[in-house]
Structure 1
């Protein structure tokens, strides 16, 4: 799907999602709390181990802003792309360091090289902002830096592209060529590549970088991305929307080319505005206030994620593509920015889709304390991070880690949820942070300051680092554990999805937040928040899920059920792709006799042949076919508790049915802990009641899963499941099928077979709480 079409679809969806219930209004209306949902506490626990400590540095000149008084203004950690495994770190006050076994060694003094024009003591982003090493550094010795100049430079040097009126600072990109790329101290030459002029001391050039996912021969290979802020003028001008100037844009240039404005860089032919009259050919994307940090996800389409610092209230992450317009300063996040009203953002207009703005895939707002002036800084600013694709921390895999610069809060989202086409922002989670002794702490604790000045880094293996300017230290994330409540420790790392019905999504109580690893939130269909009822399945439980058939006499889709469905699959459930086993377990209380009358026919004597409990759909499911399911179904003319699954999409299913009558397994008005395990490699299934195995039989003879005769492990289809269904089929609500008049709690979906001892221990863990 073309990017522009995706933007239009996303804009339509976001308009519907962000507007209040009475949003069919022609004019935008003010919003007091733009993003009511807040980052939620997660069971993911990250261990931070001190990695490096940097020497104290001073600004040039002495600062007039106390926020610049830091131990060391370290700004980024990266790895040289030459196979040497050397790490580099830049300090805004001027130094470029290489790390030797965690000890910083000065490689180059950028500040001294450009004295006396170099400035780092005016503005939070001034100084030596970033370094980017060419992907062929090992061969050509080239790397690039960006720094800030003032003083004589303002009269003796000229910006290459249109400067802002009243320019007071220059952002300068320099190419350095090392005589010996293997050396640990720089010696070589330099040349200026690009110079931009900014009116203010804030929102200059924040980052320059090469796409590390591009390979030789790719159109993106060797191209330099430049994140240029609005110079502080965006809130009072249209600079970010003006395609004739560079401010408020991400630029993309070829440092080896010559057809740029000054002949010292080139214009990539694939740039979205290349050759268009009145538009800068250098622009890759636009409509930005302060594009603070961007990074590429090495997988899943190599998407470019940007952390964008807001003006009034919104801190946002964007999925940025060529030609995208993030909307500033017409939009802040997915809201209208009104230059005349500094105290409110506004809902989107009805015709918003026509503008084609790109909206955030994740965002949070400032939530200033009571009494805080709406026109002053509330002390929040997002710093973009990275999607973890390393090999050492599987529980962190596929999660985008980012944070808040000021207070040092660390957040994550599930990268697969960060999809602008969905029109829904990804849920933001807050992991627990611990030191190597297991003591829980905050980044403020580690930094020794309430102003952390948080940044992130990534090495060549994809491992992640956090850093603080407050004390000039870097910590490496060395462990990722999972400590969700009410889950046996041995099951935690395989808990794909879990629902205790104590965690409604703050912005939409008709959704339940996943307490498992995947972040797959589910919808409470038809009944919404009313489906959470006060009941105690186990000690410590407060609410349970109520499912039921609402009106058996009327054909329709009014049954209360829960789940998630995606016609193209649900990427967050990818853990069930190509697996050897699965487990579904939870607490169930039957309230009716069942099965329910078939509301799809006019025959009052026609009843459904099953009662839906909980399961994972297959990769080609219409909302009924399953990969792994715990259910009651008619087997040989009699309703029984079963485990039912198919290994291959579209292939034959197998059913394992309990011998014991279903009313003995699930007595009316009594909570029972049920579990079903599915071993796709051996072709076996098991059922458990209150931790003990249930005797049973298979309904299909032979080898319906096709596991015989193949020496390789037999696994499920390598397709994304189309969702989860709970309390009935068709969670997309296109049909009523197999409704359950029952209550459920503590539902768990694992991507492996739980051992009998684990099923018993999980039951005991909750029963004895």
Structure 2
């Protein structure tokens, strides 16, 4: 659709805001038809009120709503005036009077961008931004607790009790992340980072990237690709991949610090990622919008890439040029359209 013409405007959910930062992160519909709402812990100093662990607070949570069904009178009494929705019957705390029934998962600091794998709907991955040390990617499950503020990644952050027994994630019932990176691995100039959760790549555009999980960082110095091995195991490894801009792109990347693989470039700020109906991945940056394109667009090779008539470069009112990256095994490209899109390519 190129424009919207809503016939109805309805308030779905409202909440009080006691803090100024890290409140609402994202809303998205899941493959189950329910609405998921991501909230941060409010970014109070070190979450002193333990809001991310408090099941009576909506902060530091993934919430799940049924927005197609109107609430019953009993639901309205229980929920006060928070919104116009019903609670899915399979939410984990729907029958727990000591917890908010909207909660799907908890223990997040600032979940920034989540997505469902289009081929495996049970794979719901979220990036969660850390405080001082670590950024993480979590597989979010029903009733899962992801540890904040007691852990930042696998590193103890707050003590669970005076005995200090939370010396590792195995000593608790918290769920550990599946991928992540230390702040020193991203924005080495400033030492700060903020993860941008991504997507499993399911497009036919770059067959060498197919099935990998792509994510990045706000500061635009780094892109990671995660590989699950074996498939459906939940065991991931991730690698940072260098990238570069195509020589004929009207919008060039800025030169960053030198890396062992060569100079690192800077996309400025990366705010979010998205996919289109072809399942191509886009990056929304302060420079423009980037799309993964065919590796050959940036003179990189993917042994699985096949050319058809529809893939032959063609000029249109949205003229296309690109950018590229280099690494050891496979390719990843993004593409620039004259006024808003930008092509990048990288390899693993």
TM-score (norm 2): 0.72
How far apart are residue 456 of structure 1 and its match?
A: 1.3
- Go from structure 1 to structure 2 and tell me whether the alpha carbon gap of 1:356 and 1:440 turns closer, same or farther (over 3 Å shift): farther
Q: 1:308 aligns with which of 107, 123, 128?
A: 128
Q: 2:167 aligns with which of 338, 343, 349?
A: 349
How far apart are residue 248 of structure 1 and its match?
A: 0.4
Aligned partner of residue 457 in structure 1, secondary structure:
strand
C-alpha separation between the residues in 2 aligned to 1:329 and 1:466?
A: 29
User: CA offsets per residue over residues 180-211 of structure 1, 9 Å max, x none?
Assistant: xxxx2435331211112232221111101111
Matched, 1:413 2:226: yes
Question: Where does residue 244 of structure 2 map in the other structure?
Answer: 433
- Go from structure 1 to structure 2 and tell me whether the alpha carbon gap of 1:401 and 1:418 turns closer, same or farther (over 3 Å shift): farther
Aligned partner of residue 198 in structure 1, secondary structure:
coil
The answer (yes or no) to whether the contact 1:317–1:362 under 8 Å persists in 2 is: yes
Matches within 5 A, 1:540-689: none
How far apart are residue 297 of structure 1 and its match?
A: 0.9
Matches within 5 A, 1:302-451: 302-338=122-158, 349=167, 352-353=169-170, 355-367=172-184, 378-416=191-229, 422=235, 426-435=237-246, 437=248, 442=253, 451=268
User: CA offsets per residue over residues 370-411 of structure 1, 9 Å max, x none?
Assistant: x99xxxx83310001111101222112111111111234222
Question: Where does residue 493 of structure 1 map in the other structure?
Answer: 303
Aligned partner of residue 264 in structure 1, secondary structure:
coil
Q: 1:238 aligns with which of 50, 61, 78?
A: 50
C-alpha separation between the residues in 2 aligned to 1:432 and 1:449?
A: 9
The answer (yes or no) to whether the contact 1:402–1:410 under 8 Å persists in 2 is: yes
Aligned partner of residue 52 in structure 2, secondary structure:
helix
The answer (yes or no) to whether the contact 2:221–2:266 under 8 Å persists in 1 is: no
Question: Where does residue 273 of structure 2 map in the other structure?
Answer: 456
User: CA offsets per residue over residues 455-510 of structure 1, 9 Å max, x none?
Assistant: 21110220111121x34x212222235999xxxx87x5259xxxxxxxxxxxxxxx
Structure 2 segments unaligned to the other structure (5+ residues): 257-264, 306-326, 332-348
- Go from structure 1 to structure 2 and tell me whether the alpha carbon gap of 1:494 and 1:407 turns closer, same or farther (over 3 Å shift): closer
Q: 2:101 aligns with which of 247, 257, 281?
A: 281
- Go from structure 1 to structure 2 and tell me whether the alpha carbon gap of 1:298 and 1:185 turns closer, same or farther (over 3 Å shift): closer
Matches within 5 A, 1:145-294: 184-211=3-30, 214=31, 220=32, 222-233=33-44, 235-257=47-69, 258-259=71-72, 260=75, 261=79, 262=81, 264-294=84-114
Aligned residues: 289
How far apart are residue 454 of structure 1 and its match?
A: 3.5
The answer (yes or no) to whether the contact 2:20–2:42 under 8 Å persists in 1 is: yes
The answer (yes or no) to whether the contact 1:380–1:407 under 8 Å persists in 2 is: no
C-alpha separation between the residues in 2 aligned to 1:418 and 1:483?
A: 29
Question: Where does residue 320 of structure 2 map in the other structure?
Answer: none
User: CA offsets per residue over residues 316-373 of structure 1, 9 Å max, x none?
Assistant: 1111111110100011111210379xxxxx99636x535221111111011299x99x
C-alpha separation between the residues in 1 aligned to 2:16 and 2:122?
A: 31
C-alpha separation between the residues in 1 aligned to 2:238 and 2:10?
A: 45
- Go from structure 1 to structure 2 and tell me whether the alpha carbon gap of 1:196 and 1:274 turns closer, same or farther (over 3 Å shift): same
User: CA offsets per residue over residues 527-554 of structure 1, 9 Å max, x none?
Assistant: xxxxxxxxxxxxxxxxxxxxxxxxxxxx
Let me know the Cα RMSD of the aligned residues: 3.7
The answer (yes or no) to whether the contact 2:199–2:215 under 8 Å persists in 1 is: yes
- Go from structure 1 to structure 2 and tell me whether the alpha carbon gap of 1:403 and 1:450 turns closer, same or farther (over 3 Å shift): closer
How far apart are residue 301 of structure 1 and its match?
A: 5.2
Question: Where does residue 479 of structure 1 map in the other structure?
Answer: 294
TM-score (norm 1): 0.34
C-alpha separation between the residues in 2 aligned to 1:483 and 1:435?
A: 6
Aligned partner of residue 367 in structure 1, secondary structure:
helix
The answer (yes or no) to whether the contact 2:129–2:194 under 8 Å persists in 1 is: yes
Aligned partner of residue 290 in structure 2, secondary structure:
strand
The answer (yes or no) to whether the contact 1:359–1:420 under 8 Å persists in 2 is: no
C-alpha separation between the residues in 1 aligned to 2:4 and 2:56?
A: 40
C-alpha separation between the residues in 2 aligned to 1:444 and 1:329?
A: 36
C-alpha separation between the residues in 1 aligned to 2:49 and 2:122?
A: 33
- Go from structure 1 to structure 2 and tell me whether the alpha carbon gap of 1:385 and 1:460 turns closer, same or farther (over 3 Å shift): same
User: CA offsets per residue over residues 674-733 of structure 1, 9 Å max, x none?
Assistant: xxxxxxxxxxxxxxxxxxxxxxxxxxxxxxxxxxxxxxxxxxxxxxxxxxxxxxxxxxxx
Larger radius of gyration, structure 1 or 2? 1
- Go from structure 1 to structure 2 and tell me whether the alpha carbon gap of 1:301 and 1:195 turns closer, same or farther (over 3 Å shift): closer
Question: Where does residue 49 of structure 1 map in the other structure?
Answer: none
Structure 1 segments unaligned to the other structure (5+ residues): 1-85, 87-97, 99-183, 215-219, 341-345, 496-513, 519-769
Structure with larger RCO (C-alpha < 8 A, sep 6+) = 1
